[in-house]
Amino acid sequence: MEFDWRLYFNLANELATEGTEAAYRAAISRAYYAVFGAARRLLEQRGYHLTHSASIHHQVWYLYRMSHHREMQRLYPLAAYLRDLRNQADYDPIMENLPLAWENVYHKASSFFTILDERLADGDI
């Protein structure tokens, strides 16, 4: 059975409730990967052939940004924001106000999934 990437988002939310720096950083990272996994899965279901390499993130987000589907283009800024925060959480030794960063990530990822669900139901993507 195919993995449900939203489970990563659920895990991220659980981690964030711990309230530690490590938990917030891990939550931010998992939330990004939840969105990335769902975005990639949709492309593959639509017949896109992605190269499974280090550049797969670039490939996925490029296809969303350049899509002729307005709703896919609308998802790109949310994903870009999440990726930037994920990079900070994973690599920056100092990250200010992690609870606020997590709150922003939570809302952006939630919006991503809401738009994805609504547009898939409507057949817009």
Please state the pTM of the whole predicted model.
0.92
* Chain-centre distance for alpha carbon 79: 5
**Distance spanning both ends of the chain, measured CA to CA:** 23
Helix and strand numbers, DSSP H then E, in the chain:
5, 0
**What pLDDT score was predicted for residue 122?**
65
* pLDDT tens across the length of the chain (125 residues): 889 999 999 999 999 999 999 999 999 999 999 999 999 999 998 899 898 887 999 999 999 999 988 888 989 999 999 999 999 999 999 999 999 999 999 999 999 999 988 877 666 66
Distance between CA 16 and CA 9 in Å, rounded? Answer: 11
Q: What domains are there in the chain, each with its CATH number?
A: 6-122 (1.20.120)
Distance between CA 31 and CA 45 in Å, rounded? Answer: 21
